[in-house]
Structure 1
Amino acid sequence: MFVSFLRRYRSMILASIFFFYIGCGITLSLLRLECADALAAKELSVSDSSLNKVEYAVIVLSGPDNEAKRDAIRATWMKFANNIFVENGEKLYKWNHTWTEHHVKQDFIKFYFVVGTQGLSELSILRLNSENNRSGDLLLLDSFEDSYKNLAVKMLHSLKWLRENLKKLKYLIKCDDDSFVRVDLIIKDLEAYAPEMNAHEISEYVTYKKDLPSYKGLYWGYFDGRARVYLNGKWQEKDWFLCDNYLPYALGGGYVISQSIVDYVGRNADILGHYNSEDVSMGVWTAALDGMNRVHDIRFDTEWKSRGCTTQMLVRHKQLPSDMFQLYKTLVHTHGEKLCKTENIVRKSYLYKWDVLPSMCCRLGN
């Protein structure tokens, strides 16, 4: 009798089971969406709250496919931010790093690897999202295609985002993903000497443009004022018209700008001209700004080719991931006393002459 009943009402029973599962699926989907929305809202709230505490931002311009380089930075010099700690309301430096010690990230220092996502394949975007889910430090900008010719555009979009989101920012450290940066020592010097940068302790490394009773900002790096404009090749500048040389600029392997410059460039990003090189563009964007302390520092090894390795260096450009791990290993083994396994000078540095025409600025010395 039961079998007969099943045969008679089989269609009705199957339809009921089908709609039951459909209903369950819709209900679970709605629950997942509600949970996801709640989680997203929570993460946004936490993110917004944490952004309001950021005083020092580090942006690393990176390519979509450079995950290995980003991981090398995460595993090495990014960790040195923990050498800056707060005591009685002041930010102080102390070597505070071992191989195994777990550190809580400082909420006043924030790292961003900037990548443009326009035109990327779905697979590339999935990989970047997966990387960001584990690291939480990618700044993915979908408003431009990531390429060398768009580096200045990338910088404009980055500064615009930083201006809109980091309301308590004091200084920005900019570098590339092949730069090894002593972020801890840079922040230490900023806390102690900025914006004047005229202390006896650093006088052998720095030259600055002029003394003012007070400064409206800081532009700090390794400057060049004699560079000839590239008329062909990778760095060709088809739109350059200002003069025969590039305007004085800090080389892009690593430099520091104050919040006042971030604010100015970010606020005017839509109307500022730009060139192939983002560092050249930064020199142009800041050229007309008055009251900026332009500081040249030989501890920034940021030229097209490394000048070698000395312990006092704050930035070393053109470093492979293997180089970063070696520098990191040496620092850890010496408790922060030595950067280089063996110190060597391959090329001489120069102290910038601010009181002469730019073409005479950069006579080799040290």
Structure 2
Amino acid sequence: RQASDDLTRISIGTVDECSNTTDLDALIIVHTSADHFKRRDRFRRTYANYNNTKPFRLKLVFLIGQVENADLGIKLEKENMEHRDTVMGSFLDTYQNLTLKAVMGFRWVSSTCSDIKLLIKMDDDVFFDVRKFFTRYWNRIGGSLKSKAIHCQFWEHAKVGRTGKWKVERGLFSNSSYPFPYCAGFFVIVTPDLVRSMYEVGKSIEFFWIDDVFLYGMVPATIKNVHFAQVGRWKKMVTESYRDWKNCMKRKGQAGCTYWAVLTNGEDEFDSEYDSFFALRPAIEVAGNKTLVISV
């Protein structure tokens, strides 16, 4: 089985597509469940709101699959007509189809929105400090990290799970560990020169149901010579631990803490970070690579 074009056919695409990519600093594709309307609205008010990201401009696109509930389907169509920011695939919107959703996203970007400066993939429960990312990381790193590179929290020689949520049968993958690095897929940065090749390889190699391992492990290993840049773990820029994020913010404050992306544990935590960074914090101005906090 493969994640072929038949399986990742796009049934609904954004109406405005990508007509103004030259003005965009990044395109964000978001993995979201079909019924997560509130989370998508939170993302729109946060990352599609230029007041929260200026001087950086982002385009936000949500990736979903088909639903069997007719009422939910009608709501999704209305949502897309209102916001024009949804790409819907021809597969069912289930956990087991996340690999198809991932390949579909790269298919859409490579065919419709290929002329971009940067691609960011996020899950819909991630909080992302856009300004800190650009001013302290992306605008400072060397050119070698901006070509054929994936920036993420990645693991090397990770053990293959034989129990639990990510159980992999030995008949499907016999190795005791994965012979390639792969990303924790909640937050991944991909340089644009990789998008088309990742889509082409993703639709042609043998399907693997764990999307992080497949798209951000097996696919780059097949392409070869893809550079993985660590931004998680000891680098402390991206984290899956909301506790670590909060402790860092408490000890060092927003300016001193190095984290700029965190996997939250739900809508309450996302709202808490939104309030801290946007609704309640002092105004922030960005000049070049310097972030200036203006006291109020």
Match of 1:115 among 64, 67, 90: 64
Partner of 1:131: 79
Q: CA deviation at 1:306?
A: 5.4
CA contact (8 A) 2:148 2:194 kept: yes
Name the aligned partner's letter for residue 130 of structure 2: V
Which whole-Å CA distance do the structure 1 matches of 2:143 and 2:68 have between them?
A: 40
Name the aligned partner's letter for residue 301 of structure 1: T
Partner of 1:140: 88
CA contact (8 A) 1:157 1:269 kept: no
Does residue 1:302 correspond to 2:235, yes or no? no
Which whole-Å CA distance do the structure 1 matches of 2:283 and 2:265 have between them?
A: 19
CA contact (8 A) 2:118 2:191 kept: yes
CA contact (8 A) 1:64 1:128 kept: yes
Partner of 1:207: none
SS of the aligned residue for 1:128 comes to: helix
Partner of 1:153: 100
Match of 1:179 among 123, 126, 130: 126
Label 1:61 to 1:164 Cα distance change in 2 as closer, same or farther (>3 A).
same
**What's the TM-score, normalizing by structure 1?**
0.62
Q: CA deviation at 1:178?
A: 1.1
Q: Where in structure 2 are the equivalents of 1:175-214 lying within 5 Å?
A: 175-188=122-135, 189-193=137-141, 195-196=143-144
* 1:266-311 Cα distance to aligned partner (Å, 9 max, x none): 12332123322211112111124444331111211136x7544333
Q: CA deviation at 1:317?
A: 0.6
* 1:203-231 Cα distance to aligned partner (Å, 9 max, x none): xxxxxxxxxxxx74111011112422122
Does residue 1:286 correspond to 2:220, yes or no? yes
Label 1:240 to 1:191 Cα distance change in 2 as closer, same or farther (>3 A).
farther
Q: CA deviation at 1:81?
A: 7.5
Name the aligned partner's letter for residue 240 of structure 2: T
Q: CA deviation at 1:78?
A: 4.5
Partner of 2:5: none
CA contact (8 A) 1:161 1:266 kept: no
Partner of 1:328: 274
Off by >6 Å, runs of 4+ in structure 1: none
Which whole-Å CA distance do the structure 2 matches of 1:81 and 1:268 have between them?
A: 38
Does residue 1:266 correspond to 2:213, yes or no? no
Which whole-Å CA distance do the structure 1 matches of 2:43 and 2:268 have between them?
A: 11
Unaligned runs of 5+ in 1: 1-42, 86-92, 94-105, 198-214, 338-366
CA contact (8 A) 2:109 2:195 kept: yes
CA contact (8 A) 2:46 2:52 kept: no
Label 1:62 to 1:54 Cα distance change in 2 as closer, same or farther (>3 A).
same
CA contact (8 A) 2:47 2:60 kept: no
Q: CA deviation at 1:263?
A: 1.3
Q: CA deviation at 1:195?
A: 4.2
Which whole-Å CA distance do the structure 1 matches of 2:80 and 2:182 have between them?
A: 32
Partner of 1:314: 260
SS of the aligned residue for 1:322 comes to: helix
Partner of 1:250: 183
* 1:108-138 Cα distance to aligned partner (Å, 9 max, x none): x211111011x52321111011122232222
* 1:29-68 Cα distance to aligned partner (Å, 9 max, x none): xxxxxxxxxxxxxx96x54533575552101100111111
Label 1:270 to 1:77 Cα distance change in 2 as closer, same or farther (>3 A).
closer
Does residue 1:221 correspond to 2:152, yes or no? yes
Partner of 1:68: 38
Q: How many residues align?
A: 253
Which whole-Å CA distance do the structure 2 matches of 1:257 and 1:336 have between them?
A: 30
Q: CA deviation at 1:254?
A: 0.6
CA contact (8 A) 1:81 1:183 kept: no
Unaligned runs of 5+ in 2: 1-13, 249-256, 285-296
Q: CA deviation at 1:80?
A: 6.1
**Largest Rg, 1 or 2:** 1
Work out which structure has the larger RCO, using CA pairs closer than 8 Å and 6 or more positions apart in sequence: 2
Label 1:336 to 1:252 Cα distance change in 2 as closer, same or farther (>3 A).
farther
Q: CA deviation at 1:72?
A: 2.0
**What's the TM-score, normalizing by structure 2?**
0.75
CA contact (8 A) 2:25 2:118 kept: yes
